[in-house]
């Protein structure tokens, strides 16, 4: 091998080595950045979204709930035990953002249809109007899969307490009374330990892509912890 070839070979070898190091550094930096999702506590939210009774809680988990789904079945936290799930708040007569949100929930359902550890939960903010037959019709229109996506009604004060004290989905106002009304585009990601791991705008495609990626990260970590 002459000197020119030796020099070129050395340059190529050096370039390869530097590239390999840069790729490794890039992957390490971004893996460490993206492999962890934050755990949201009340202090991480806008104070207007957090009920005063829970503002100092640094180990927040979603409260137990008791709801009725589109099939007339009682749904509780036990049905979501050890599950990763996405929750949202909607109403069947909503002409604006709710159809978009429900279509995006359907997208999530389709992507994770074969993943038993991923579920969806929709809570009506007009539960008196959203009867079980209406929810059933709405569920059929959006292709909700039984035991995968529960579209629910229930006691109004209970649902509004969940929105304001568990999921921090809306600005605190009212007490769930007759004239009280909430409306939010938020999708809330909850992990298998009932901790909030992300909040997303359920009307935006970019946010849906982000929540899909975050769900997969939670799945990955869950599988690692069981192996």
**pLDDT computed for residue 100 by the predictor:** 94
| Amino acid 168: pLDDT | 86
- What confidence score (pLDDT) does residue 112 get? 98
What length is written for the chain?
Answer: 227
Coil, helix or strand at residue 223: helix
Residue with tokens 């550094």: 25
Write down the pLDDT at residue 206: 97
CA–CA separation, 97 and 104 (whole Å): 11
What is the Rg, in whole angstroms, of the alpha carbon atoms belonging to the chain?
Answer: 23
Containing 20, the helix (H) or strand (E) segment is helix 3-34
Q: Residues in the chain with pLDDT < 70?
A: 1-35, 44-58, 170-182, 223-227
CA 139 – CA 150 distance, rounded (Å): 9
Burial of 22 (0-12, 13-18, 19+ CB in 10 A): exposed
Question: pLDDT tens digit string along 5-31?
Answer: 445 444 444 444 443 333 333 333 333
Burial letters for 197-217: b for 16+ Cβ neighbours within 10 Å, e otherwise? bbbbbbbeeebbebbeebbeb
Which tokens belong to 79? 């049905």
Q: What per-residue confidence (pLDDT) applies to 34?
A: 43
């Amino acid at each position: 091998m002459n000197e020119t070839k030796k020099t070129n070979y050395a340059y190529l070898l050096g370039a390869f080595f530097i590239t390999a190091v840069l790729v490794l550094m890039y992957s390490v930096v971004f893996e460490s950045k993206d492999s962890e999702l934050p755990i949201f506590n009340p202090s991480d939210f806008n104070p207007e979204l957090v009920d005063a009774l829970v503002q100092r809680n640094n180990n927040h988990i979603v409260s137990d709930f008791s709801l009725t789904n589109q099939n007339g079945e009682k749904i509780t936290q036990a049905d979501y035990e050890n599950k990763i799930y996405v929750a949202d708040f909607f109403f069947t007569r909503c002409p604006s953002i709710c159809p978009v949100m429900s279509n995006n929930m359907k997208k999530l359902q389709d992507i994770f249809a074969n993943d038993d550890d991923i579920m969806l939960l929709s809570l009506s903010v007009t539960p008196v109007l959203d009867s079980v037959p209406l929810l059933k019709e709405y569920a059929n229109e959006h292709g909700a899969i039984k035991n995968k996506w529960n579209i629910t009604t229930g006691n109004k004060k209970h649902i509004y307490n969940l929105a304001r004290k568990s999921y921090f989905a809306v600005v605190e106002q009212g007490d769930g009374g007759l004239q009280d009304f909430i409306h939010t585009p938020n999708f809330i990601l909850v992990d298998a330990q009932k901790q909030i791991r992300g909040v997303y705008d359920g009307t935006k495609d970019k946010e849906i892509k982000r929540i899909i990626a975050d769900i997969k990260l939670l799945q990955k970590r869950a599988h690692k912890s069981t192996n």
